[in-house]
Structure formats: structure tokens, C-alpha cells
Amino acid sequence: MFQRIYTLFIAPHKTDPDQRNRELVLNWLLTGIVFLLSIFFINCIILQIFSDKDVIGSLISISIVLVGALSYLILFRTKQHAQTIASYLLLGLFFYAGYSVVLAWGIVNPYGVLMFSLVIVASGILLSARHALYAVVVVSLSLTLFEYLKSQGVTTPDTSWIASPSSMADVTNFTTLFLVMGLVSWLFNRQMEESLQRARKSEKELKHERDMLEVKVEERTRALQEAQLEKVQQVYKFAELGHLSTALFHDLAGSLSSLTLDIESMRKKGKTDFTKRIDNNIHYIDSVVQRVKSQIHGNNEVETFDALAVTKELVGILSYNARKARTHIELHAAKNKPIVFTGNLTRFRQLIINLLSNAIEAYPPPSSDTMAKDRPVLIKISQGEGKIIIEVTDFGKGIQKATQSKVFDPFFTTKSTGSGIGLFIVRQVAEKDFSGNIKLTSNKKTGTTFTVTIPK
């Protein structure tokens, strides 16, 4: 029963803790007033019926206040401004009661003093701290006005009560007022203590979160430092690779010069197809060395060439590697027409060579009965509207989905003898040098295909 009454009349609906405190105090006060007015209403009805006193005016006044309090508690508690309006009306009721006592019996009557005190205390609790100061000003001005009217003879309070002895009725009245003031203070202070406990709990949780955040920041910082260290190590590896490449090309250029002299001697003795083929290969290697040396020095030469013819040439050069791995390279081109491309020839060669070499190495090591025709490497080169499309497909082991996003990372490899920079170079050439893109698709049925699209 009590739980239903509490839910119906007293339980606050606001979510903000401070507003809930004020709503709870207001609901308790209004519930108490409803209870007292209900008793007064019943007494007035009894007096009206069984005595000669006319209490119709009192019944009307009590009914109005009772209906207003019940309307708020049952119907309007969830409205946005209902709590503020009810607080002002309740304070006005207390003020009216106090001022009625003062008009009747003077400003020194203790009932009036207690009622005004209740107005001041309740203003600070129900509205805000500054409203308590406003209530002090209003009460002081009202008492000043009353005293002025009394001095002018406008009002004449009855002060005969001063000489009258106290009674149990006075004790009951004072106890009721003290009970109301004590209840208001207790309710508000209890809510304040709960708010303080919540604040302390929140502070403790916030401190714990701060400590955990410091730990997380330290862990993230350590992880970033490790990642940066790894990147620095990769850059250092690339720098070492650059130094080694420079030394390698220097030595290779010297060896080529010596080999060229030997070929020249052989040519003087008698030119054969064999020496002619060696001579052509040496010229090609020499041109590659010169281009790489030029690139190392920062000279990126742009020239126009037939991309299909260059691809055919590279397929022929890598045919030995394919035979050694028991594979064969198949070149597919639309109508065998020249594909004119303008760019860095050396970088284009790097792109094709690395794609084909990667496809050849994608097959597992051959056995004695492995047939090359069963292990094809397909390269298709075609041109569209202002672009060249190069597709290289193998049917080897395939690439798992978990590692597909990593195959273009530097030094990442799934091969025991791989360096992990081939596909990294392919992506760099496609994206950085030729402003294109590269895509990877891999499954057991259709094989692994690298598709490079670059603008002409």
C-alpha cells in the first residue's frame, strides 16, 4: 500500500540528480499538505453538519488547494514547467498563511515567524540558493509594510494572545511546523549526501579510468616506438640495398666492359650467330646498367616505346627461368598491334620482370615428372581508352586471404628464398611512377591474377 502511494504521489520523474532532489522534497510537502487538508476538510464537513458554525468559505478554500495539490501530484508532475509552478504556488501558500497570522496577531507571533522561516528555507531548497535571498527580501518588505500600516491605523492586530497561557494546542501547532521544517531539511540533506557519495564514487572511477588511460597511453607509445623502430630498420635495409646495388652495378659495368672486349676479339676471328646473340644480350644488359645508373643519380628519362614489343622481349629473356622451373610463359595480346607508351622504360621493365618472376616462383618446386605445359604463366597486355592493362596469372599455390593485404609490403614474403621486395617494387612503379593501380585476385579455381592498370 505504502509503495503504491509512494509511486503515485512522491517518486520523482526527473533524471538530473539536483532536479530529482527538489522534486522529491516538493512531492513530500504536497503529499503532507494533501493529508492535512483532507483532515481539515472532513472536520469542516462535520462542523457544517453538526454545529451552527458556517464553514462554507473554509470548505471552498480547502477544496481549491486540495484539488490543485492532487492535480499536480497525479496529472502534471511529468510536465516540463509544472514543478517550478507548483513550487511557487506552495511557497505562496506558506507566505499567505504566515502573512495571515501576522495580520491577525502581529509580527511577533511565533506562528508567523515560523511560517516565514519555512518560506525562506523552502525557497532555497525547492528553487535555488538565490531564491532564499529573494524570499528574505520579500518577507522583510512585507513585515515593513505591515508595521507601517499598523502605525497608520490601517490594521489593528489582536495581541491579547501575549497574555494568554500556552496550551497543548500550541505544542501541537509548533510540533507540526517543526516537523515540516525538519522533514524538508532532512530530505534535502539526505539527497545531498547521496549526491556527494555519487560524486566520490565518480571521482574514484574517474581516477581508475585515468590510471588505466595512462597505462594504455604507455602501451600505445611503446607500440608506436616499436613500429617506428621497425620502419627505421626497413629504411636502413633499403639504404643497404641501395649501396649494394650501386656497388653491384659498378662491378657489373666493369665485367661487361671486359666481356665486350673478349667478344670483339671473337668477332674479328669470325662472326657467328652465336657471337651475334651474345653481342645483342650484352648490349641489352649494358643498356639496363646505364639506365639503372642514371636512375640512381636521379635522372628519370621519359621515352616513347612499344610496350608490347618490350613485353615480348622480356618474355624471351625469362623463358630460361621458366624452363628451369618447369613452367612456360604464354603472351596474349589483341591483334598483335603495337601498344605505344610514354614513360620510364627501365621502370616498365622492372614492373613486367617482377610480375613474371613472381608468377614463375608461385609454383611449388618441380619433380622429375613435372610437365611444363601443366604449369602455365599467362600474361595478357591490352589497351583501352587512354590506358594499358597488364594481367599476369599463375595457377600455383595461391595466396590466402589473411596475407593478401600484406603481399605488397616491403620485405614480406611467403617463400623461403624470397626477398620480399618484388611486389613492393611493382606497386611503387604502378602507383608512383605511372600513376596507376594494381589489384590482386586469388582463388583455387581461377588462380592468382595481378592486374596493373596504367594511363598511356
C-alpha angle with apex 302: 299 to 305, nearest 5 degrees?
Answer: 140
State the angle between helix axes of 110-126 and 129-151 in degrees (0 to 180), rounded to the nearest 10.
150
User: What is the number of residues in the chain?
Assistant: 456
At 19, is the secondary structure helix, strand, or coil? helix
DSSP code, position 256: H
Q: What CATH code is assigned to 301-455?
A: 3.30.565.10
Exposed e or buried b for every residue in 331-346, given b needs 16+ CB within 10 A?
A: bebeeeeebebebbbb
What is the rounded CA–CA span in Å between residue 77 and residue 69? 11
- Extents of the domains making up the chain: 2-208, 301-455
Q: Could you say which residues of the chain have pLDDT below 50?
A: none
Judge residue 404's burial from the number of C-beta atoms within 10 Å of its C-beta, 0-12 exposed, 13-18 middle, 19 or more buried. Answer: middle
Phi, psi of 337 (to 5 degrees): -85, 150
**Residue in this structure with the C-alpha cell 539526505, named with its chain if needed:** 190
The pTM of the full predicted model, rounded to 2 decimals, is: 0.43
At 439, is the secondary structure helix, strand, or coil? strand
93: amino acid identity, one letter: L
354: amino acid identity, one letter: N
Given this model, what pLDDT does residue 381 score? 93
Q: What cell numbers appear for 138 in the block?
A: 520579500
Given this model, what pLDDT does residue 140 score? 93
Given this model, what pLDDT does residue 54 score? 74
Given this model, what pLDDT does residue 249 score? 59
Tens of pLDDT along 263-310? 666 666 665 655 665 666 666 666 666 666 665 565 567 889 999 999
In contact, 355 and 420? CB cutoff 8 Å: no
**Euclidean distance between the first and the last CA atom of the chain, given in angstroms as a whole number:** 87
Given this model, what pLDDT does residue 387 score? 92
Q: Which of 22, 27, 21, 34 is nearest to 9 (CA)?
A: 27
From residue 261, alpha-carbon distances to 131, 282, 307, 383 in Å are 108, 11, 32, 42
